[in-house]
Amino acid sequence: MGRSLIMSRRDLEFLLYEWLDTESLPGRTRYAEHDRETFDALLDLSERLATDVFAPINRLVDTEEPYVGDDGKVVLPAEVAKALAAYTGSGLPTSVFDAELGGMQLPFVVHSACSTWFQSACVGVFAYPFLAEGNASLLVAHGTPEQVSTYAVPVIEGRWYGTMALSEPQAGSSLGDITTRAVHQEDGSYRLTGTKMWISGGDHELGENIVHLVLARTPDAPAGSKGISLFIVPKHLVEDDGSLGERNDVVLVGLNHKMGYRGTTNTLLNLGEGAFTPGGEKGAVGHLVGAEGKGLNAMFHMMNEARVSVGAGAMALGYTGYLHALQYAEERTQGRPLADKDPTSPPVRLVDHPDVRRMLLAQKSYVEGALALTLYCGRLVDDVATADSAEDRAAADTLLGMLTPIAKSWPSQWCLAANDLAIQVHGGYGYSRDYAVEQFYRDNRLNPIHEGTHGIQALDLLGRKVVLDGGRGLGLLADRVRATIARAVAAGGDATAYGTELESRLDDLLRVTGVLWRDGDPDLALANASVHLEATGHLVVAWLWLEQLLAVGDATGDFYDGKRAAARYFFRFELPTIGPKLVLLESLDRTTLDLDPDWL
């Protein structure tokens, strides 16, 4: 069998077993039913399903966009439902949930590795179970036992799907400005009225029901984010025995027409417009999750999971683009070496040209670095749930929170850059729809936007995570990086040189971060937050490349030599670029603050 063009199984195995020590996780009670054999079996299953069922429809769902039929229902290619039925039938949707809910209690890091196959093969179709999983996970964490059994379990089983309905046309990402209204009823339910925009998976006929998790305000709620509550609003009401009742007043207004990622419906929904009147009354029926006014706290459970998963999806699209570009460069012949002056000499492969190798090595360093970041965060999720001590669990939770904006934004920026380079390697062919790399770029362009833009993640990192608990998260991250540096310095050779360089950059980042907050002026500190995010992200990925290099050790073979080459590239070409960024930040530059919008 030749090299997969979807994902590298060898890289996944290296990261899981040679770096992250995933084989030790079955020693923890939650994962005791598993071992390396079951992990590999699930990876095999994921690879096979992704290759045989999901990848073949990736171009189809791009060219045959969803549309609303004459009956008002969303129409998708029949192959979408078939692919999702195969995924549900595999049991993979239940993998991370508790056994009492029908789950496998699989380590999250293994689940993340399995998911990369589907995200790479057809991210637009895999979005439906991905959203459903996050929806059910939130309900399991914050819902009542009755809400879990009524609404989460059917989603976990793959019979229903789920969304998060946050944004509104006038508010966008500014959730404190939402106006959807929820009025308490005598029976304990609520009636919701309002409009929700950009709701992925917001309407379709792929399952029996859709469970919307909706942010709204009660009539006496204060302004801003503290007045937001969270509600379960099903597409179809659910009877006491679990059967489906009448249609709830959640109405599809229209579909948004996207540049890419077209396999996932993206919707404008009206709640309570009177198209359906459950019980003869106006308003969509909803059920409060948690306490009034605490909705955003609960929703962040799903949003943070989604942010890491968005970064994983960006990585996956960058990774498959790299593999396609590598194959093309190995097969396509064009041009001759500069030293060859004989015009009759046969052309060489593209990969034999140094500049093409540079572009491929850049892609490799981005996508393999992003995969390491994704799986490292997955391992932290497992440590949050199952580490031996409360102290270790708390530390993992803090570090995961610190890394979440980076895990979302860094792959979204740099794996999109990898897709750009994949097109460049293909030349004019890459700009045509005849080659898959064109679609990968369009699909990936969404990821720097949804689940919080690049700028929003930057504000979260520098404005919240860095200063939270007196800078505990940043300090913990620095401690982890310094521990790796100490091992690298002791290892000798390139690892020592890289470790020394990384330590210098870390010291600079910590000093500059302190300068930004020195005067306690948030406008000044956060004016260039995106620059800080990019510098921090590059430092984190350099750290993870050093971790990978140490895991390689003295091992021989093309795979390990490739890891060494990618690490060298990142430390020689990429890590030094944070220097000018830190100089700019330390200067407390006011260019954007002093800019009059009328000058633009």
CA distance 76 to 129: 16
DSSP secondary structure string for all residues of 314-341 = HHHHHHHHHHHHHHHHHH-B----TT--
Q: Tell me the one-letter amino acid at 99.
A: A
Q: Which amino acid is at 560?
A: Y
d(CA 159, CA 209): 8
Whether the Cβ atoms of residue 559 and residue 14 lie closer than 8 Å to each other: yes
Cα 181–chain centre separation: 30
C-alpha–C-alpha distance, residues 264 and 250, integer Å:
19
* Catalytic site residue from 368, 438, 451, 547: 451
In angstroms, the CA 348 to CA 342 distance is: 13
252 bridge partner residues: 269
Helix axes 529-552, 493-516, angle to 10 degrees: 160
Largest CA distance in the chain: 89
**CA dist., res. 180 & res. 176, Å (int):** 11
* Cα 588 from Cα 158, distance rounded (Å): 51
Query: Whole-angstrom Cα distance, residue 99 to residue 478?
Result: 37
Cβ 289 vs Cβ 139: under 8 Å: yes
Residue 295 has phi, psi (to 5 degrees) of: -65, -40
Strands (E) located in 25-136: 67-68, 74-75
> Is 275 in a helix, a strand, or coil?
coil
Contact between 248 and 276 under an 8 Å Cβ cutoff? The reply is: yes
* Among 132, 165, 130, 460, CA closest to 313: 130
Report strand pairing: 210-217 vs 161-165.
Answer: parallel
Look up 451 and say whether it is catalytic.
yes
Q: Do 318 and 366 form a contact (C-beta atoms < 8 A)?
A: yes
How far apart are the C-alpha atoms of 52 and 36, rounded to whole Å? 24
SS3 assignment for 279-309: HHCCCEEEEEECCCCCHHHHHHHHHHHHHHH
SS (H, E, C) 403-446: HHHHHHHHHHHHHHHHHHHHHHHHHHHHHCCCCCHHHHHHHHCC
Task: Take residue 140 and report the two structure tokens written for it.
Answer: 């399991």
Two tokens, residue 432: 């045509």
Q: Quick one: three-class SS letters along 52-68?
A: HHHHHHHHHHHHCCCEE
Tokens representing residue 570 in the block: 């990142």
- The residues, ordered by sequence, that sit 6+ positions from 361 with a Cβ below 8 Å of its Cβ are 565, 566, 569
Amino acid identity, residue 539? L
Would you name the residues annotated as active-site residues?
Answer: 451
